[in-house]
Amino acid sequence: MAAGINRVILVGNLTRDAEQSYTQSGFAILKFSIAVNSTRKQGDQWIDEANYFDITVLGKRGEAIASYMTKGQKVGIDGQLRQDRWEDKNDGRKRSKVYILADNIQFLSSRDSGSQTGGNQGGWQGGNSSGGNWNNQAPAQNAPRPQQDSPAANFEDDIPF
């Protein structure tokens, strides 16, 4: 029998500053929420709506990015859905909560710009088991221009992708 697929990719803005905490053994847990805005048509009108998602980052990945995760920051999240289940101590009812355990986080706005989009400003890309690497790429406007005698300088059409 084939294994199931559990993958989530979201782009949104942080709804509040991330909260860093530690277990009794010193394991880091970073938690934050993002809002993903979308529009849908209801009758003849377009309606804006926001969906909110809780995100958790574990271990050294969370520690490394905690100071960058501020309210309004635009981020891309790649992870998997997880579900916590427990029994309420007060009334005995079974409860559950779905959240996203993030494997990769990409910063899509600069640290100081808040909710303003600033293109790819670099971000943390970690794997499932071992660390990760910082992806600090310069924005496209800082890329060197081709020299006038190169073939790329004479290309007049826009690239279709």
Q: What is the CATH number of the domain that holds 33?
A: 2.40.50.140
Is 155 within a domain? no
Q: What is the model's pLDDT at position 2?
A: 80
pLDDT by residue (tens digit) across 93-112? 999 999 999 999 999 986 55
Question: Number of structural domains, the chain?
Answer: 1
Domain contains 161? no
Tell me if 152 is assigned to some domain: no
Residue 133 domain-assigned (yes or no): yes
Tell me which residue of 15, 8, 10, 62 sits closest to 34, measured CA to CA. Answer: 15
Q: Is residue 121 part of a domain?
A: yes
Domain that holds residue 53: 8-38+48-84+95-139
Find the range with the poorest average confidence among 79-83, 112-116, 157-161.
112-116
| CB proximity list for 158: less than 8 A, separation 6 or greater | none
Query: Is the pLDDT confidence value at 149 over 70?
Result: no
Whose tokens are 């007060």? That residue is 90
Residue bearing tokens 């494997």 = 103
Taking only the tens place, the pLDDT of each residue in 50-105 is: 999 999 999 999 999 998 899 999 999 999 999 999 998 888 899 999 999 999 99
Any domain includes 61: yes
Q: Over the range 109-121, which residues count as b (16 or more CB within 10 Å of their CB) and which as e?
A: bbeeeeeeeeebb
In a domain, 90, yes or no: no
On whether residue 15 sits in a domain, the answer given is: yes
